[in-house]
Copies of this chain bind each other. A is one copy, B any other.
Amino acid sequence: MAPTKLSDDQVKSALKNVPAWCLSGGQIERTYVFKDFVAAMAFVNRIAEYAERVQHHPDVLIRWNKVTLSVSTHDCGGISEKDFTLAAAADGMSA
């Protein structure tokens, strides 16, 4: 079953649970800052392992110690609950 696209109000409400994330260009997005490139890459590899396991892959931009994740759900043409699950999981992996 394809995930359900959330309404704008639902997205706004769900963002309250992951307050460091924001809406940007039809995706939800967060930039994490680490102490250096090696720490950033360790996070990226944790994200990659998770993404492959749940088969839901964010866009990942690495700029030395900064990692930006952007995610939406192609199957529903918007933002779904899956994106917020990934956002919360990524927050948990960033510490």
Which residues of A are interface residues toward B (Cβ below 8 A)? 37-38, 41, 44-45, 48, 51-52, 57, 59-64
Contacts and interface: CB of A to CB of B under 8 A. Distances in A.
A45 B60 CA distance: 13
A74 B43 CA distance: 24
B64 A52 contact: no
B59 A63 contact: yes
A62 B64 contact: no
B61 A59 contact: yes
A60 B63 CA distance: 7
B60 A37 contact: no
Contacts of A57: 37, 64
A38 B37 CA distance: 21
